[in-house]
Structure 1
Amino acid sequence: MAIKTDSYLMNINGEWTGGDLDTLGVVNPATNETVGKVPYGGENETEQAIDAAYDAFQTWSERSSHERAGYLKKLFQLMHDNLEDLAQTMTAEMGKPIDESRGEVKYAASFIEWFAEEGKRVYGDTVPTHTPGKRLQVWKKPVGVVAAITPWNFPAAMLTRKMGPALASGCTVIMKPSSESPLTAVKLMELCEEAGFPKGVVNLMTGSSSKFAKTVMENSKVRKVTFTGSTEVGKTLIKQSADQVKKLSLELGGHAPLVVLDDADIDQAVKGTVQSKFRNAGQTCICANRIYVQEGVYDDYVDKLSKEVQKLKVGNGTDESVDIGPLINQDGLDKVKHHVDDAASKGATVVTGGDALHENDGVFYQPTVVKDVDQSMVVMQEETFGPVTPVEKITSDAEAAKLANDTPYGLAAYVFTNDVSRGMQLIENLDFGIVGWNDGGPSAAQVPFGGMKQSGIGREGGHEGIEEYVESQYVSIAMD
């Protein structure tokens, strides 16, 4: 039986709008059913949102950090009060297992709570003078209007990781969620309204991402664009930002290596691999994509990993017992199939999994382990974004570092070793912004999140996260 399809609206300057526009259908990839419709906004609606955010900036930025924190704390509480509604919406629109969705809502709310407090700690400086009669100070000022463009795979957390520091620092925000999963953002906007944010401080746009990006890049009222998504799109935004030298924060693609050295606790390494690789069906930017295991423990690791992976249940994310939900769409499934087929054709062995599943017209792929892979295979060169674990045998720590760094990306990496000296030396040689040492789940609100090389610009989270939304203004005061 088809589920009810609700129509949603955008929110510009405190008004729900867009009911007269064409709509985009939001499809649940587990069932191929349309679960909601949102307005297809374009240049005109984006310009309206920019004007609203620009007009609201003056008064919002003049409020004290404690007053702004009060609004954020209300939003934090409302997110917890409405956790189940947010989680069910998330699972319905992008397929994530419901328990993972609940976890994401809590994670998303943690950014709102963290930055509510961090906004009170945006400190300036008093600098020792170089000459008598002067006082040298550094003031911190909010950047201005912020456009936030977010992906489909974490529809709550990717928004709050940007909203939190922007709003806490005194910026106003225009949110643009992915058209694949905009419904969670609408629910968050409803909670912002309930929290009492003044009109224009938070605005929500749905519709064309390309038209939105082009419009905000060309409008001088928008002082900063923050984006999470592919490196390809990130490069386009960098080019578009050049004419106005627009301030950017970019969290881009990853291709995370996971290294298991021969002194590691193999059970711990397997647990960490499953935790990292199979969350959200492998559709995360920091999940382990390339596994490098030292030859002395290779067979033991592959055997234990395969047994654990075989226990994972695939299905509709609304089922409480499901571990792996669907891929986001058919293109995602085709990419996963290509990576596995290419590896098998070049001599790799599929130990478990390796096939697409067809359940209720959904887009599913079996949790898969592939052994005896090498660097010639596509799966070791491109981010899979699916539930596939390719395992390559290595002989030394030096080889591990060389192969791990053999990528243009540098977002996350994982190292499993119980030898502190080996671990520190290996990690010092890794060019990645995030490293999990015997830890498959390193993310948290209080730490910086971001990458090196082509994985992005800037950091989100931690005390560094709010610095991306303020400018330093140096003031030299002559006292005489």
Structure 2
Amino acid sequence: MSSNVSSSPAHESVYPSLCFYIDGVFHAAGHRRTRAVFDPGTEAVIGELPLADADDVARAIDAAHRAFGRWKNESPLARSDILRRAAALIRERAADIGRHITMDQGKPLHEAVAEVASSAEHLEWHAEEGRRVYGRVVPARSPDVQQTVLREPVGVCAAFSPWNFPFNQALRKIAAALASGCTLVLKGPEEAPSAIVALARVFHDAGLPPGCLNVLWGVPSEVSTQLIESPKVRKISFTGSVPVGKQLAALAGAHMKRMTMELGGHAPVIVCDDADVGRAAAMLAAYKFRNAGQVCVSPTRFFVQRRVYERFVSAWLDAMATLRVGHGLEPGVTMGPLAHARRVAEMEAFVSDAKAKGADIAAGGTRLFSRGHYFAPTVVLAPAADTRLMCEEPFGPIAALVPFDELDAAIAEANRLPFGLASYAFTASSRNAHRISRNLEAGMVNINHFGMGPAEIPFGGVKESGFGSEGGTETFDGYLVTKFVTQLN
């Protein structure tokens, strides 16, 4: 479970120039403020990101507003063709885009390329489903009256995408908005911007009309306030932390803006004593440390029935032993660095709190290497319920393993927190599976496998993990308004 960060030629790759995309035109930094972009694996500066000023944001909003007048009336077939062309370009460019994501976000190259390549499917699915946004005719009470229910695009959307899956999360928002007939201004993550530039180039080359997609970066509080307060923006889509989501939701609510909020989680796992323990441990360990645990649906709180607890811990540690930590461009690496130095400090704080309250650190618990934001994959055994790890989402490579006796107690503990995004369970009993699926308070329940993510599946949470869905037919609900037309003939 170790690796050195080398200066091998594998790290030497040309990082793309960073720019805005407004009204169909790419804009370099020019006179604007810039922000350094770092490789989290080496801490080297690899790029300079232009930051939008108020005039840039206003131009992007105006461009999206003008374009909406045309795009909403465009044939669904024509919109579908553009999304399909963009999907084909994504597949062609996946290797290069993925390499740049590894450079600015840190995840291993195979994960980054897979993130990009799999995203093409979302465009293709939305290209088809966007052709099936139907209204309906409601039989009237008088033969002289015709009653029609129409579903129309809401208008200009402001989208805010995160750094942990910079390509996939942004693409989901773009696909839903464009397939619905909306236009959008996307504020991408300042930490991992190359994926957003690549998306803009993909849609530009696919023939998307100017103004339908606009991308920029800036001081987050300034840009988000200007976008949300603009009367031309009618829909907000945000993926990120619960605290920031609450702030944006309050601002959007003050202006009666539609919202889709996909916020943080603290995903529980229930492993019953009738489960295939070895299989469950191996699957969960690989899934937990994907993207160094910086995943909103990452399994974090593991409740394991006492009869198989020791066996699960042993199998878990065996699976962890196969992990190799290092720079994402190094061959054989299975876990890269954390995205920021502050994430490493947070991991240390979680571990320190757990140890102070009596928990056993079975593996990891320390930062790695002299440079780069690396933290060892960490397992905490039987932490107290009031530890930070059992109450706050760590968003990093830390797992808590806790024994339980009765299933109802495990379900209650899983539901104790205000989060409700993803959840997991492993059991061979259909009765247990039924109890778990009915009683877990989560937007997504995975039993005996990991089934989230495909384009046709709704992805979203409950409680403080947000509202609305991305993916599935539900994705269109946030981008369409319902209009009732009644006509006396």
For 1:404, the equivalent position in structure 2 comes to 414
Residue by residue, what CA displacement relative to the aligned partner does 1:209-257 show, whole Å, maximum 9, x if unpaired?
Answer: 2111111111110111100001111111121113320111110110100
The answer (yes or no) to whether the contact 1:134–1:478 under 8 Å persists in 2 is yes
How far apart, CA to CA, are the structure 1 residues paired with 2:19 and 2:30? Answer: 6
2:63 to 52, 56, 80: 52
The answer (yes or no) to whether the contact 1:57–1:201 under 8 Å persists in 2 is yes
> 1:31-430 maps to which residues of 2 (within 5 A)?
31-359=42-370, 361-430=371-440
How far apart, CA to CA, are the structure 2 residues paired with 1:441 and 1:289? Answer: 17
For 1:443, the equivalent position in structure 2 comes to 453
Residue by residue, what CA displacement relative to the aligned partner does 1:75-106 show, whole Å, maximum 9, x if unpaired?
Answer: 00000000111100110001010000011012
SS, match of residue 428 in structure 2: coil
How far apart, CA to CA, are the structure 2 residues paired with 1:8 and 1:352? Answer: 40
1:144 partner amino acid: G
How far apart, CA to CA, are the structure 2 residues paired with 1:258 and 1:7? Answer: 42
1:425 partner amino acid: R
1:398 partner amino acid: D
92-101 or 231-240, which moves further after superposition?
231-240
How far apart, CA to CA, are the structure 2 residues paired with 1:243 and 1:423? Answer: 41
How far apart, CA to CA, are the structure 1 residues paired with 2:144 and 2:238? Answer: 45
The answer (yes or no) to whether the contact 1:9–1:16 under 8 Å persists in 2 is yes
How far apart, CA to CA, are the structure 2 residues paired with 1:400 and 1:46? Answer: 48
Please state how far the C-alpha of 1:107 moved relative to its aligned partner.
Answer: 2.5
1:456 partner amino acid: G
The answer (yes or no) to whether the contact 1:268–1:438 under 8 Å persists in 2 is no
The answer (yes or no) to whether the contact 2:358–2:384 under 8 Å persists in 1 is no
1:429 partner amino acid: N
Please state how far the C-alpha of 1:344 moved relative to its aligned partner.
Answer: 1.7
Please state how far the C-alpha of 1:260 moved relative to its aligned partner.
Answer: 0.3
Residue by residue, what CA displacement relative to the aligned partner does 1:435-454 show, whole Å, maximum 9, x if unpaired?
Answer: 11111352211100000001
The answer (yes or no) to whether the contact 1:41–1:205 under 8 Å persists in 2 is yes
Residue by residue, what CA displacement relative to the aligned partner does 1:347-376 show, whole Å, maximum 9, x if unpaired?
Answer: 2111121211025x1011111112122312
The answer (yes or no) to whether the contact 2:32–2:53 under 8 Å persists in 1 is no
The answer (yes or no) to whether the contact 2:415–2:440 under 8 Å persists in 1 is yes
For 1:475, the equivalent position in structure 2 comes to 485
Please state how far the C-alpha of 1:310 moved relative to its aligned partner.
Answer: 1.5
How far apart, CA to CA, are the structure 2 residues paired with 1:5 and 1:185? Answer: 13
59-68 or 272-281, which moves further after superposition?
272-281
How far apart, CA to CA, are the structure 2 residues paired with 1:133 and 1:395? Answer: 67
Alignment TM-score, normalising by the size of structure 2: 0.95
For 2:4, the equivalent position in structure 1 comes to none
The answer (yes or no) to whether the contact 1:91–1:97 under 8 Å persists in 2 is yes
SS, match of residue 227 in structure 1: strand
The answer (yes or no) to whether the contact 2:22–2:215 under 8 Å persists in 1 is yes
Alignment TM-score, normalising by the size of structure 1: 0.97
1:477 partner amino acid: Q
How far apart, CA to CA, are the structure 1 residues paired with 2:196 and 2:318? Answer: 38
How far apart, CA to CA, are the structure 2 residues paired with 1:102 and 1:8? Answer: 20
Please state how far the C-alpha of 1:320 moved relative to its aligned partner.
Answer: 2.8
Please state how far the C-alpha of 1:7 moved relative to its aligned partner.
Answer: 3.6
Residue by residue, what CA displacement relative to the aligned partner does 1:269-291 show, whole Å, maximum 9, x if unpaired?
Answer: 11231233111000000001101
Residue by residue, what CA displacement relative to the aligned partner does 1:447-479 show, whole Å, maximum 9, x if unpaired?
Answer: 000000011120000111122211111111223
SS, match of residue 454 in structure 1: helix
2:20 partner amino acid: M
446-455 or 433-442, which moves further after superposition?
433-442
The answer (yes or no) to whether the contact 1:10–1:38 under 8 Å persists in 2 is no
SS, match of residue 409 in structure 1: coil
Residue by residue, what CA displacement relative to the aligned partner does 1:183-207 show, whole Å, maximum 9, x if unpaired?
Answer: 1100111111111111111111122
The answer (yes or no) to whether the contact 1:5–1:34 under 8 Å persists in 2 is no
The answer (yes or no) to whether the contact 1:107–1:445 under 8 Å persists in 2 is no
Cα 1:128–1:268 change in 2 (3 A) is farther
* Gapped regions of structure 1 (runs ≥ 5): none
188-197 or 12-21, which moves further after superposition?
12-21
Total equivalences in the alignment: 478
The answer (yes or no) to whether the contact 2:360–2:382 under 8 Å persists in 1 is yes
For 2:467, the equivalent position in structure 1 comes to 457
Residue by residue, what CA displacement relative to the aligned partner does 1:157-203 show, whole Å, maximum 9, x if unpaired?
Answer: 01111000100111111111111111110011111111111111111
Please state how far the C-alpha of 1:6 moved relative to its aligned partner.
Answer: 5.1
205-214 or 47-56, which moves further after superposition?
205-214
1:337 partner amino acid: E
2:228 partner amino acid: M
The answer (yes or no) to whether the contact 2:324–2:333 under 8 Å persists in 1 is yes
Please state how far the C-alpha of 1:389 moved relative to its aligned partner.
Answer: 1.1
How far apart, CA to CA, are the structure 2 residues paired with 1:375 and 1:441? Answer: 29
How far apart, CA to CA, are the structure 2 residues paired with 1:19 and 1:467? Answer: 39
2:85 partner amino acid: K
Runs of at least 4 residues off by over 6 Å: none
How far apart, CA to CA, are the structure 2 residues paired with 1:476 and 1:396? Answer: 57
Identity score, percent: 37
How far apart, CA to CA, are the structure 1 residues paired with 2:80 and 2:161? Answer: 23
Please state how far the C-alpha of 1:345 moved relative to its aligned partner.
Answer: 1.9
How far apart, CA to CA, are the structure 2 residues paired with 1:239 and 1:221? Answer: 18
Give the root-mean-square deviation of aligned CA atoms: 1.3
